[in-house]
Amino acid sequence: MNDDDLVIQTQTLVKRYGRKHALDGLSLAIPRGRIHAIVGANGAGKSTLFRILLGFLPASSGQARILGVDSQQLAPADRSRIGFVNEEHTLPGWMTVAAVTAMQKKHYPRWRQPAFDEVIGHYQVELGQKVRQLSRGERAGLNLALALAQSPELLVLDEPTLGLDVVAKRAFLESLLYSNAAGDCTVIYCSHQMEEIERVADNLVILERGRLAHMSAPDEFCERVSLWVADIPFQGPPPETVPGLLQRQQLDGLQHYLVLDQDEGFADFLRSVGARSVQSMPVSLDRAVNGFLAKHHAAPTELRHA
Amino acid sequence: MARTRPLMIQIATGDARPISKQIVDAVRMQVATGGLAAGDQVPSVRGLAQQLMVNPNTVAKAYSELTTEGWLESRQGLGLYVATPRQRLSDAERERRFDEAVQRFVNDVVALDIPAADVQARLQLELRALRPRKRA
């Protein structure tokens, strides 16, 4: 793939805080276009990754490029091609909506007023209001409108709907998914809310302890994970011998195994360790991702790069 | 001039079926039960995405699968329409699936110890309820 077609590209990126590795040799290539969801447990390195990509933080080693430019060499013109919305929706509280908008308009040469108007139309925000007087949901909406109006090629949303009520959340997702303003923009969507990710994501990126653990369409990830229930007398096999094990539960005397990358052969394994009955079923994205992030005993044998 | 027929379907997140698969299943069910008839125009990708509050690409994927399977057909520049029914499976495959469904049904029902005549009567009732209704 041509490097110009990648909005984000990192190569064995490492960031150490003291002896702790926040990023541990992360190699990531995110293509242009569509909506990419990044998930990971707290401390998986998402925030550190964004800080490095946006040039706020130097890497310990390795390379990070955003829109084809080295993150440490970003010029103001490069920054104007990137929109960033963080979870706090930090905007100066003492300014009016009109004043904040005018300020942004001056900063960004490719400002599109129609895009701003379209997105802000989803919210009941008056131009004369002070930012401080806006609700959290309205501030999120204003933030998104400001970010989309700058005509970014890349929009990074870090937990944008955290703490929003259902109405505000819906307005936020609608303005992101269906407004023309977001049309040509590549979106990086960081969230812990699987329900949202299932609705919006074209591509799912899973980070784990500072490394890339998985990248594919959400459906494909879901297909890798399956749940098996077996009636095995006594304790069942030692967990470390169970292939692809993500999670194990013993419920009502039955063994429940959530496993990764197992086919029908897993039934044979269960029978070989004494299972009297074996049943399997697919799982939801929520369950699959949670199981994947919560696993203790198993590690994927290979990293998959889509 | 046929107008877009609304798709009265719902999707659920947290289901083991991906959303695009849920849309495919729901549309097939609508066609099978007469909620949609041949020649009806289905909502646009964007319209249905907005109705269900999902990514338009997800709807596009479902529509493309339905088109490949022959449930929907595209008319140049006009949109997607419910296709005229035709045999979508080979005879052997149809026979196999029918066999499988009947076996499953019989296995489930035999355990309930209900007289065969009652089972038949009920089955007939359910099938009749599925028959396409005439629309004004």
**B18 to A173: CB separation less than 8 angstroms, yes or no:** no
In this complex, which of B18, B50, B57 lies closest to A222 when CB atoms are compared? B18
pLDDT of residue A162: 87
pLDDT at A305 over 70: no
Residue A34's nearest CA partner among A139, A186, A162 is A186
pLDDT at B136 over 70: no
Question: Domains (ranges, CATH) in chain A?
Answer: 33-60+67-216 (3.40.50.300), 220-294 (3.30.70)
Residues of B in contact with A198 (CB under 8 A): 13-14, 18-19
> How confident is residue B133, by pLDDT bands cut at 50, 70 and 90?
low
Give the containing element (helix H, strand E) for A247: strand A245-251
Q: Which amino acid is at A82?
A: I
Residue A251's nearest CA partner among A238, A273, A266, A232 is A232
Measuring CA to CA, how many Å separate A162 from each of A51, A233, B131? Answer: 19, 45, 47
Regarding an ipTM greater than 0.90, the answer is no
Residue A48 DSSP label: H
CB A190 within 8 A of CB A179: no
CB A122 within 8 A of CB A171: yes
Least confident of A161-165, A198-202, A284-288, B78-82: A161-165
pLDDT, tens digit, 9 for 90 and up, residues A104-155: 999 898 999 999 998 898 888 999 999 999 998 899 999 999 999 999 999 9
The total of other beta-carbon atoms located within 10 Å of residue A181's CB is 22
- B19-82: what fold? Arc Repressor Mutant, subunit A (1.10.10)
For chain B, give every domain's residue range.
19-82, 91-130
Phi-psi region of A280 (alpha: psi -120 to 50; beta: other; left: phi over 0): beta
pLDDT, tens digit, 9 for 90 and up, residues B32-76: 888 899 999 999 999 999 999 999 999 999 999 999 988 999 998
CA B56 to chain A, closest CA, distance in angstroms equals 8
Say if residue A250 is exposed, middle or buried (CB neighbours under 10 Å; 0-12, 13-18, 19+): exposed
pLDDT of residue B111: 84
Percent of chain A with pLDDT over 90: 64
Scanning the structure block, which residue is given the tokens 């990086």? A188
CA B132 to chain A, closest CA, distance in angstroms equals 32
Residue B5's nearest CA partner among B22, B20, B31 is B31
**B49 to A283: CB separation less than 8 angstroms, yes or no:** no
> How confident is residue A2, by pLDDT bands cut at 50, 70 and 90?
low
Residues in chain B whose Cβ is within 8 Å of chain A: 13-21, 46, 49-50, 53-58
**A178 to B56: CB separation less than 8 angstroms, yes or no:** yes
pLDDT at A299 over 60: no
The chain A residue lying nearest B57, using CA atoms, is A202
HSE, CB side, 13 Å, CA atoms: give it for residue A283.
25
**A284 to B53: CB separation less than 8 angstroms, yes or no:** no
Could you tell me the two tokens for A29?
A: 């290539």
> How confident is residue A236, by pLDDT bands cut at 50, 70 and 90?
confident
Could you tell me the two tokens for A285?
A: 């994205």
pLDDT, tens digit, 9 for 90 and up, residues A66-108: 999 999 999 999 999 999 998 877 888 999 999 999 999 998 9
Measuring CA to CA, how many Å separate A49 from each of A45, A59, A211, A215, A239? Answer: 6, 9, 11, 16, 33
Residue A174's nearest CA partner among B54, B19, B62, B57 is B54
Q: Considering only CA atoms, give the Rg of chain A.
A: 22
Residue B88 DSSP label: -
Stronger pLDDT, A65 or A165, i.e. the higher one: A65
CA B73 to chain A, closest CA, distance in angstroms equals 25
